[in-house]
Amino acid sequence: MLSTQDFQDNDRILSILTPSRGKVTAIAKGARKATSSLRSGTQQLCLSRFLLYEGKSLATITQCQVEDFFGAVREDLKRLLTACYLTEIAEAVTVPGQPGYGMFKLLKESLSLLAREDPFIVTRAFEVKTIGLLGLAPRLNLCVSCGASLDWQEAVAVSPAAGGTLCSSCQGRYSPEYRLSKEGLKIWEYLTRWRGESLSRLKLSTRCRGELEEVLPAYLEYYLERKLKSRILLHL
């Protein structure tokens, strides 16, 4: 469940991420009633199975079964806010009617990891993999503009508009540009290859965490052409 919206007295309108049909909007009639059989399975962040039928404008949910409530995530405010951020990204990039298996699998795995691993690392991994799913993975080993080797000092420039790293000769041609150290670049490359395994062995310096926290969301927002509102909550 990506998001929910109260409707009329007791109904809910749901945005559901599915592996085969992408994003589906459906109404759960009476789901807000305390006695409703749909109440638990139609809450945000639930992994549920639904039985629904198509309507003229909305699908209608008739049955649902909860598979995972992600209880450990809900019990910790930082993890819960992180989960909201991940689901906002998933909702922003998923297209109704188009298969969304890659994002469905990534979100499911990430919410499971979030229950036991560092929320910061899980978030950065999710952002990197989402960029890859969108076909926007940057070039990080050479200058994306001229193909020259990167002339390292303390950091190199990374530009979403250019699609990767820039050498000193090409810096300043693309806006916005962000600075990324060798450590940050190495972590980004590792997360690009990440396949859902544990992230607990990754140890990031304070500087690296700050770099990735700036550039990865900015990279996504550049191509989404929108601000991710729940990102703000992570800094409260």
Residue 48 sits in a domain whose CATH number is: 2.40.50.140
**Residue 146, domain member (yes or no):** no
**Residue 148, domain member (yes or no):** no
Residues 159 and 209 in one domain: yes
Side-chain-side CA neighbours of residue 168 (13 Å): 5
**Residue 145, domain member (yes or no):** no
Residues 170 and 62 in one domain: no
Which of 68, 88, 123 finishes a domain? Answer: 68
The CATH number that applies at residue 93 is: 1.20.1440.120
Q: How would you write the pLDDT of the chain (236 residues) with one tens digit per residue?
A: 789 999 988 999 999 999 998 999 999 999 999 999 999 899 889 999 999 988 777 899 999 999 999 999 999 999 999 999 999 999 999 988 888 899 999 999 999 999 999 999 999 999 999 999 999 999 999 999 999 998 877 789 999 999 999 998 999 999 999 999 999 999 999 999 998 888 888 999 999 999 999 999 999 999 999 999 998 888 75
Residues 18 and 134 in one domain: no
Which one, of 147, 48, 166, 188, lies nearest residue 104 by Cα?
A: 48
Residues 60 and 76 in one domain: no
Which of 68, 90, 116 finishes a domain? Answer: 68
Residues 38 and 102 in one domain: no
Measured CA to CA, the distance from residue 154 to residue 144 in angstroms comes to: 19
Residue 160's pLDDT is: 95
Residues 27 and 123 in one domain: no
Domain interval for residue 30: 3-68
Spell out the alpha helix ranges (H) of 25-137.
71-74, 77-93, 101-114, 119-133
Tell me the residue type at 36.
S
- Inter-CA distances, 117 with 26, 58, 127, 163, 169, Å: 32, 37, 16, 30, 40
Residues 52 and 79 in one domain: no
What is the DSSP-derived secondary structure letter of residue 134?
A: T
**Residue 147, domain member (yes or no):** no
Residues 55 and 86 in one domain: no
Report the domain count for the chain. Answer: 2
**Residue 102, domain member (yes or no):** yes
- Inter-CA distances, 226 with 23, 134, 192, 214, Å: 18, 15, 23, 15
Residues 117 and 26 in one domain: no
Residue 1's pLDDT is: 76
> What does the block give as tokens for 172?
């300043």
Residues 46 and 107 in one domain: no
Measured CA to CA, the distance from residue 128 to residue 156 in angstroms comes to: 18
